[in-house]
């Protein structure tokens, strides 16, 4: 439980462009709402809604003048009109901080006011909206005088600063955000997900690439924001491809050029060894020949590696039988196995067709079997098996050697890497060649421990679409 929560928290803490964009949209909505509230408050300050209507003032003057001889009805009518004003502005409580205030004078006597909590408010200039201080507060007030000068009406609204505090205090600003933002999150997330679909397409294509695939991205987005990114990726791939090609050409040329002097050196050393009668010199020349063999083998593996890297992606045109290929290579290697006292055993389960490049696949088989022979003990056995497994061809090579520690079973496919505890000589290229060939053919290779000890290499390649399996016996 705690581990799951920890993983979720770690995932949430990881920076996310989607979350960043979502928060940015929420911030924009909040900013727009703040600007709308600010504009409303500014407008209410510059042009108070209630104070600009002339007919309201005239109606109050008419009530006060027409009922001047009936004080009770005058008070009742003014109070009813005051309540109507309160209802029109959405505030039914005259004692509220935001409620408008009405005060009426007749013959310089205050005959009505909305609430006793607000002192008398006097304008300096009639019929003009002014900011007036009264009762320790600021009001936006306007006073209109009757034509005969006997009656005057004052209407006042609270100052914008007081209104601002009231709006914030009562939640008129925060509450709409709290209610609306959760409902805006999903549409905003959905819109961003749809808008970022081309970005995900580029990401998908790059993530599906293998480490050796340096071809340009096939997806060319029309969007001007994505075009520079795709062009930069394609430019980088082109530079890496050119650099790899130059490196491959250099290694291939150097390896090819080394074959001739190595062959000449071997011929000369063999000739000298035959002519020499000194046992010490013959032993030294024997060591020199063995070193020459290792150098020649390294040159040969470098050429194999370069050839396997040169196989292009796409449909490989040659249909061949993996079982027949393995039999052919075992026949070629049998002499080496006999010289080392190792027995080769082959188990085939019928016809196993694959589509591939014969020379590269032969190199892959040779390296797997040579490695098994090399590390097998004297009088040991190397088991080779070819079979079908669903839609895949399976080649298994198992030996009784020291094996490879689990921690190093992935690293041994790196070029020139060798197990530090290994006593046998080698270049560290054999399994790199195997991995390169298998990757080019869309397969996989797994190293694990063989039954009874040793190492087992399992290669899986796609089966070719053969017309019908042709069973054959393997011995």
Domain co-membership, 187 together with 299: no
Place of tokens 């004692």: 95
With contact defined as beta carbons under 8 Å apart, do 475 and 346 qualify? yes
Report which of 439, 367, 441, 357 is spatially closest to residue 397, judged by C-alpha positions: 367
Domain co-membership, 345 together with 446: yes
Domain co-membership, 149 together with 293: no
- The answer as to whether 209 is a domain residue is no
Whether the per-residue pLDDT at 452 is higher than 80: the answer is no
Tokens, residue 223: 């969007």
With contact defined as beta carbons under 8 Å apart, do 238 and 216 qualify? yes
Structure pTM?
0.46
Domain co-membership, 237 together with 320: no
Whether the per-residue pLDDT at 153 is higher than 80: the answer is yes
Q: CA-to-CA distance for 120 and 136, rounded, in angstroms?
A: 12
At 468 the pLDDT is: 37
- The answer as to whether 423 is a domain residue is yes
- The answer as to whether 204 is a domain residue is no
Domain co-membership, 328 together with 440: yes
Q: CA-to-CA distance for 384 and 365, rounded, in angstroms?
A: 10
Domain co-membership, 456 together with 343: yes
Q: 428-438: per-residue pLDDT in tens?
A: 677 888 888 88
Domain co-membership, 12 together with 108: no
At 105 the pLDDT is: 93
Q: 94-128: per-residue pLDDT in tens?
A: 566 667 889 999 988 999 998 888 889 888 888 88
Mean pLDDT of 18-25: 77
- pLDDT > 70 fraction of the chain, expressed in percent and rounded: 78
Q: CA-to-CA distance for 188 and 18, rounded, in angstroms?
A: 10
Whether the per-residue pLDDT at 152 is higher than 90: the answer is yes
Domain co-membership, 446 together with 339: yes
Whether the per-residue pLDDT at 302 is higher than 90: the answer is no
Domain co-membership, 38 together with 64: no
Whether the per-residue pLDDT at 298 is higher than 80: the answer is no
User: How many domains does the chain fold into?
Assistant: 4
- The answer as to whether 166 is a domain residue is no
At 10 the pLDDT is: 67
At 159 the pLDDT is: 63
Domain co-membership, 325 together with 453: yes
* DSSP letters for 347-377: EE-S--EEES-HHHHHHHHHHHHHHHHHHSP
Whether the per-residue pLDDT at 203 is higher than 70: the answer is yes
Domain co-membership, 332 together with 401: yes
Mean pLDDT of 446-472: 75
Residue 383 — pLDDT band, cuts 50, 70, 90?
very high
Terminal Cα distance for the chain, rounded: 57
At 260 the pLDDT is: 73
At 124 the pLDDT is: 86
Domain with 240 in it: 227-306
Domain co-membership, 119 together with 182: no
């Amino acid at each position: 439980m705690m581990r799951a929560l920890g993983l979720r928290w770690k995932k949430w803490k990881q920076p996310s462009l989607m979350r960043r964009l979502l928060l940015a949209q929420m911030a924009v909505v909040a900013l727009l709402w703040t600007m709308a509230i600010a504009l409303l408050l500014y407008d209410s300050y510059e042009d108070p809604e209630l104070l600009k209507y002339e007919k309201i003032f005239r109606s109050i003057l008419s009530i006060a003048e027409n009922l001047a001889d009936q004080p009770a009805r005058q008070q009742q009518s003014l109070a009813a009109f005051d309540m109507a004003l309160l209802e029109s502005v959405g505030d039914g409580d005259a004692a509220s901080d935001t409620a408008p205030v009405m005060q009426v004078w007749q013959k310089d006597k205050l005959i009505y006011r909305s609430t006793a909590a607000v002192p008398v408010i006097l304008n300096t200039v009639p019929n003009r909206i002014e900011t007036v201080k009264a009762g320790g507060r600021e009001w936006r007030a306007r006073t209109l005088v009757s034509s005969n000068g006997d009656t005057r009406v004052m209407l006042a609204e609270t100052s914008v600063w007081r209104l601002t505090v009231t709006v914030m205090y009562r939640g008129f600003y925060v509450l709409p955000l709290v209610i609306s933002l959760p409902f805006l999150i999903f549409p905003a997330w959905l819109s961003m997900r749809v808008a970022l679909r081309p970005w995900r397409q580029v990401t998908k294509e790059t993530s599906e690439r293998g480490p050796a695939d340096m071809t340009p991205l096939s997806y060319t987005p029309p969007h001007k924001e994505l075009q520079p990114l795709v062009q930069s990726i394609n430019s980088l791939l082109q530079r890496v491809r050119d650099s790899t090609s130059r490196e491959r050409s250099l290694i291939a040329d150097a390896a090819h050029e080394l074959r001739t002097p190595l062959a000449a050196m071997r011929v000369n050393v063999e000739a000298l060894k035959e002519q020499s009668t000194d046992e010490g010199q013959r032993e030294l020349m024997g060591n020199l020949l063995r070193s020459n063999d290792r150098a020649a083998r390294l040159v040969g593996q470098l050429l194999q590696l370069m050839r396997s890297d040169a196989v292009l992606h796409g449909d490989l045109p040659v249909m061949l039988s993996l079982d027949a290929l393995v039999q052919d290579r075992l026949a070629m290697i049998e002499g080496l196995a006999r010289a080392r006292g190792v027995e080769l055993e082959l188990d085939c389960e019928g016809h196993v067709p694959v589509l591939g490049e014969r020379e590269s696949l032969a190199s892959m088989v040779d390296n797997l079997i040579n490695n098994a022979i090399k590390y097998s003990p004297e009088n040991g056995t190397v088991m080779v098996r070819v079979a079908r497994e669903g839609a895949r061809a399976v080649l298994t090579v198992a030996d009784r050697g020291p094996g490879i520690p689990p921690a190093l079973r992935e690293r041994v496919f790196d070029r020139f890497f060798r197990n530090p505890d290994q006593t046998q000589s080698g270049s560290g290229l054999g399994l790199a060649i195997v991995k390169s060939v298998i990757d080019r053919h869309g397969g996989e290779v797994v190293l694990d421990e063989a039954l009874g000890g040793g190492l087992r290499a399992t290669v899986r390649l796609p089966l070719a679409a053969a017309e019908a399996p042709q069973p054959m016996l393997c011995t």
